[in-house]
Amino acid sequence: MTETALSLAAAVRNGDRTARSVVEEHLTAIEAREGDINAFNLVMTDSALAQADAVDAQVAAGEDPGPLAGVPLALKDNMCTRGVATTASSKILEGWEPPYNATVVDRLATAGAITMGKTNLDEFAMGSSTENSAFGVTHNPLNLDVVPGGSSGGSAAAVAAGFASLGIGSDTGGSIRQPASFCGVVGVKPTYGTVSRYGLLAFASSLDQVGPLANNVADAAALYEAIAGHDHMDSTSIPLPALPVSSELDHGVEGMRIGVISELDGSGIEGISADVQARTRAAVDALAAAGAIVDQVSVPSVVYGLSAYYLIAPAEASSNLSRYDGVRYGLREDGANNEAMNIASRTAGFGDEVKRRIMLGTYALSAGYYDAYYGKAQKVRTLIIDDFAAAYENFDVLVTPTAPTTAFEIGAKTEDPMTMYVNDICTIPSNLAGHPAMSVPYGVGDDGLPIGVQVLAPLLGEVAMFRAGAALERSLV
Amino acid sequence: MSSPISREDVAHIASLARLSVTEEELDLFTGQLADILDHAADVESLDAHDVAPTHHPYPMTNVLRADVVRPSLDREEVLSQAPSTESGQFRVPPVLGEA
């Protein structure tokens, strides 16, 4: 798709195009390729057209239809939509229609964006490939034999395939950035607490963050501005408005201090492929050529991030997912008494990866192991935050690869959970620290598949992060 | 290196988590969880006795709001999504004893 989300919105706002024609065009694209890609759990044809007509009526009446007027958007199916099935790609929520909208969903509607459908994900966002889904595997639009990444693989694939101009994902350990890297799109995990989690089906509450996917940095910035800002329905929401990032995108990186994390450049942690290392170096060189001051920096404790994450996230998940008990919503299987019903419902409703993480989390929190596992992992979190703080005394943003490799073949890593988890090694530290980070496409690997480069920033450092991301994007043209 | 988690441990935590696992699943999950916990040995063995834990990445305490009555979710709409209801409440099988 050559048209950007912002150019579509401008055309709809000034009456050059109708929102209906934009939506119909995207529905045609979905019809042509969705059978091969399986990005959506649900395509919302009727409501998308109705939303488009409402936008067109606003334009005709001279009202402001919002900054994203008529822009087709793909919504990850772990965000609540009132009266519309919301599944988290789990059998346990089969048939559930939430009685409320996620705050993000309301804000998108206010901004004029059109929700085209609910996108596939790894069940409850637990995965890095969109293979752990009750709705089947999503295929990468650039090569149907490889995964789109995950867990926001459906949204990333929908944007890459031109099914929607914008996508919404959620990122607990890299679930927006890694699929963005695999599908060749931009993916942003904003600062923890800047985008409301109200109506996001919780996975790991101290790590989860909602964020944008888009075909370019400016579109991602506009989407971030539409969804960020304080929400009284989320007690962890930071009481600040969205940071003004769009107006800063052209300001460049002249004099910006950019650090390359040495532990994640291929010389430290093993498994980062040569082509990913090469593209990351090329990105760093381009930033230097654009006037940035570039140097290596050590953030030693990031090497413990993967282990700490796979204790903390399952621990929080084991608690969050205790609510799926067959009592108030979703699947209920018969049982002779209440406990038997709970067990039967959970056993039938959850897939293997979710069960694995619930059990791992239960173990990490259990008597005798709490201090050794969960408690220690929380201390690692402090070490990572402290190491980042030291690095940011000398640097404005940091750069790493987004994922260790390009997209891998479907089925290649489903047998061994640990090899799948290693995908998140570069993205996890930002979740543990609560910091913003974004993936920007930066060329392709030896296999011709996209490679993303990650820009990290300190808490509420979105302005510098987006500036660096925009500079990277410009350097490719 | 001895396994960090036994088959009996996995059976116990499955029961705590209200999950039923077959004998084959017990074998599979025990091996997989052991692999993950083996990887976590680096964190487990780290000397961090003087480090404070981080529970939450953005320091905020006592998030308060005015104690004002506001509309909440519609009761009928919520109950319409439940597997079973009676007299405006969620209905469940007997909590005590056999049905």
User: Would the pLDDT of A1 be above 50?
Assistant: no
A163-183 pLDDT per residue, tens: 999 999 999 999 999 999 999
Dihedral angle sign, alpha carbons of residues A159, A165, A167, A173: positive
**Domain containing residue A188:** 5-248
User: Running DSSP on this structure, what letter comes out for residue A169?
Assistant: E
Side-chain-side CA neighbours of A40 within 13 Å: the count stands at: 26
Show the beta-strand stretches assigned E in A348-471.
397-401, 437-444, 450-456
Q: Residue B96: its pLDDT value, please?
A: 80
User: Would the pLDDT of A419 be above 50?
Assistant: yes
CA-to-CA distance for A316 and B56, rounded, in angstroms? Answer: 12
- Residue A2: pLDDT band (50, 70, 90) is low
Nearest to B38 by CA among A360, A385, A403, A66: A360
Number of folded domains that form chain A: 1
Instruction: Indicate the average pLDDT of chain A.
Output: 97
Please name every residue paired with A400 in a beta bridge, in sequence order, or none if there are none: A454
Q: Residue B98: its pLDDT value, please?
A: 59
Please name every residue paired with A444 in a beta bridge, in sequence order, or none if there are none: A450
Tell me how far CA of residue A305 lies from CA of A261, A310, A317, A424, in angstroms.
14, 9, 17, 9
State mean pLDDT over A338-349.
97
Q: Phi first, then psi: what are they for A296, rounded to 5°?
A: -75, 150
The answer to whether position A126 is within a domain reads: yes
State mean pLDDT over A32-38.
98
State mean pLDDT over A231-252.
96
Omega of the bond prior to A151 within 30 degrees of 0, cis?
yes
Q: Are strands A40-43 and A114-119 parallel, antiparallel or unpaired?
A: antiparallel
Tell me how far CA of residue A303 lies from CA of A266, A402, A412, A428, A451, in angstroms.
12, 15, 25, 10, 22
The answer to whether position A456 is within a domain reads: no
CA-to-CA distance for A345 and A339, rounded, in angstroms? Answer: 10
Collect all residues of chain A within an 8 Å Cβ-Cβ radius of residue B9: 363
Q: How far is A210 from chain B (nearest CA, A)?
A: 15
Contact by Cβ (8 Å): A144, A52: no
Contact by Cβ (8 Å): A381, B58: no
The answer to whether position A170 is within a domain reads: yes
Choose, out of B36, B74, B84, the residue to mutate when testing the contact with A (most A CBs < 10 Å).
B36
Nearest to A407 by CA among A161, A181, A213, A187: A181
User: Would the pLDDT of A442 be above 90?
Assistant: yes
Q: Residue A74: its pLDDT value, please?
A: 98
C-alpha torsion angle, residues A436, A439, A442, A446 (rounded to 10): 130
CA-to-CA distance for A68 and A223, rounded, in angstroms? Answer: 8
Cβ contact (<8 Å) for B18 and A335?
A: no
The answer to whether position A367 is within a domain reads: no
CA-to-CA distance for A121 and A127, rounded, in angstroms? Answer: 8
Q: Residue A267: its pLDDT value, please?
A: 76
Sequence letter at residue A301: S
Q: Residue B95: its pLDDT value, please?
A: 87
A48-88 pLDDT per residue, tens: 999 999 999 999 999 999 999 999 999 999 999 999 999 99
Cβ contact (<8 Å) for B93 and A340?
A: yes
A103-141 pLDDT per residue, tens: 999 999 999 999 999 999 999 999 999 999 999 999 999
User: Running DSSP on this structure, what letter comes out for residue A445?
Assistant: -
The answer to whether position A205 is within a domain reads: yes
Burial class (CB in 10 A: 0-12, 13-18, 19+), A386: middle
CA-to-CA distance for A259 and A397, rounded, in angstroms? Answer: 6
The answer to whether position A410 is within a domain reads: no
For each of the domains in chain B, give its residue range(s) and CATH number, in order of start. 1-47 (1.10.20.60)
Residues 6 or more apart in contact with residue A312 via CB below 8 angstroms: A204, A206, A207, A374, A377, A378, A381, A432
Q: What is the ipTM score, two decimals?
A: 0.94
User: Would the pLDDT of A427 be above 80?
Assistant: yes
Which residues of B, range 50-79, sit inside 8 Å of A by Cβ?
51-58, 60, 63, 65, 73-74, 77-78
Catalytic sites of A, residue numbers: 76, 151, 175
Q: How far is A408 from chain B (nearest CA, A)?
A: 21
The answer to whether position A224 is within a domain reads: yes
Which residues of B, range 17-56, sit inside 8 Å of A by Cβ?
17-21, 29, 32-33, 35-37, 39-44, 46, 48, 51-56
Residues 6 or more apart in contact with residue A263 via CB below 8 angstroms: A269, A298, A299, A300, A302, A303
Contact by Cβ (8 Å): A181, A169: no
State mean pLDDT over A311-327.
97
C-alpha torsion angle, residues B98, B81, A200, A137 (rounded to 10): 80
**Local structure of B89: helix, strand or coil:** strand
Collect all residues of chain A within an 8 Å Cβ-Cβ radius of residue B19: 343, 346-347, 350, 355, 358-359
A209-221 pLDDT per residue, tens: 999 999 999 999 9
Cβ contact (<8 Å) for A329 and B63?
A: no
- List the single residue in A332, A336, A359 with the smallest CB-CB distance to B29: A359
Per-residue pLDDT of chain B (99 residues; tens, 9 = 90+): 568 899 999 999 999 999 999 999 999 999 999 999 999 999 988 999 899 999 988 888 888 888 999 999 999 999 999 999 999 999 999 988 654
Collect all residues of chain A within an 8 Å Cβ-Cβ radius of residue B95: 337-339
Q: How far is B85 from chain A (nearest CA, A)?
A: 9
The answer to whether position A357 is within a domain reads: no
CATH of the domain at A93: 3.90.1300.10
The structure's pTM equals 0.97
